[in-house]
C-alpha cells in the first residue's frame, strides 16, 4: 500500500535537512547559516496545502501561550517578517517549517522564470562570499526544479485524498493565525 502524502512529505523534509547538513559540513564557514540568523525570514511566504496542514498540526501541539503569541504576530506583526520568527530570532515552528525555509542558504540550481535560459545557481548573499557558485561541487547544489516537482506531486496527492482542489497556496501568516 502506498504511503500517505503527509508521511512522504516528512521524508522529503528529512532528506532536504540531511542535504543541508551535508552541505554545511562540507563547506563550514563558507556557509553563514546558523541558529539566530534570520535574514531569510524577513518576508512573508505562502505554502502548499500539504505544508499548511503540517504546520496546523505543529501549531496545535504548541502550548496555548505560544499559540496565542504566534497568532498575534501573524495578525498584527511586522508584515515584512515571517510571523513564525520569535523575538529571539528563532522559528516557533522550526520542526514543521515548510520546504522553502529548509532550503534557504543552500546553493540552488533553478531556471529563471519566464526565460529560455540555462539554469543558474544562487545562494544567500552571506554564503560563499566572493566565490563562483558554478564552481561548487554538484553534491552541494540543490535542484529547485526537482524539489518543486516532488512537492507539487505530494501536494496533488494530498489534495486528492482530502477532496480539495489541487494547487492551492495558503499564506503562512494565515495558517499561523489559525485562519487559513
Q: How many CB atoms lie within 10 A of CB 8?
A: 17
Nearest to 82 by CA among 46, 57, 36: 46
Nearest to 41 by CA among 118, 108, 121, 101: 101
What is the per-residue pLDDT across 110-129, written as a single tens digit (0 to 9) for each?
A: 888 777 778 899 999 999 99
pTM of the predicted structure, to 2 decimals: 0.92
- Residue 68's pLDDT is 95
Give the H/E segment covering residue 143: strand 142-143
Cell 566572493 belongs to residue: 130
Indicate the SS3 state at residue 122. Answer: strand
Rounded to an integer, the average pLDDT of 160-167 is 95
Reading the block at residue 47, the C-alpha cell is 505554502
Nearest to 97 by CA among 143, 33, 54, 147: 54
- Residue 169's pLDDT is 96
Q: Taking each helix axis from N to C terminus, what angle separates 64-76 and 49-60, rounded to the nearest 10 degrees? A: 130
What is the per-residue pLDDT across 61-92, written as a single tens digit (0 to 9) for each?
A: 999 999 999 999 999 988 899 999 988 889 99
Amino acid at each position: 500500500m502506498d504511503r500517505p502524502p503527509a508521511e512522504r512529505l516528512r521524508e522529503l523534509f528529512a532528506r532536504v535537512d540531511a542535504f543541508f547538513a551535508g552541505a554545511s559540513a562540507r563547506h563550514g564557514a563558507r556557509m553563514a547559516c546558523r541558529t539566530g540568523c534570520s535574514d531569510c525570514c524577513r518576508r512573508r511566504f505562502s505554502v502548499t496545502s500539504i505544508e499548511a496542514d503540517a504546520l496546523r498540526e505543529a501549531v496545535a501541539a504548541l502550548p496555548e501561550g505560544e499559540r496565542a503569541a504566534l497568532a498575534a504576530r501573524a495578525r498584527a506583526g511586522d508584515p515584512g517578517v515571517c510571523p513564525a520568527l520569535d523575538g529571539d530570532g528563532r522559528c516557533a515552528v522550526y520542526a514543521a517549517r515548510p520546504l522553502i525555509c529548509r532550503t534557504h542558504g543552500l546553493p540552488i540550481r533553478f531556471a529563471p522564470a519566464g526565460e529560455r535560459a540555462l539554469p543558474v545557481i544562487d545562494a544567500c548573499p552571506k554564503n560563499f562570499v566572493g566565490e563562483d557558485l558554478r564552481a561548487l561541487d554538484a553534491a552541494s547544489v540543490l535542484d529547485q526544479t526537482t524539489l518543486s516537482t516532488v512537492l507539487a506531486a505530494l501536494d496533488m496527492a494530498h489534495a486528492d485524498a482530502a477532496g480539495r482542489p489541487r494547487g492551492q497556496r495558503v499564506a503562512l501568516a494565515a495558517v499561523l493565525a489559525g485562519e487559513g
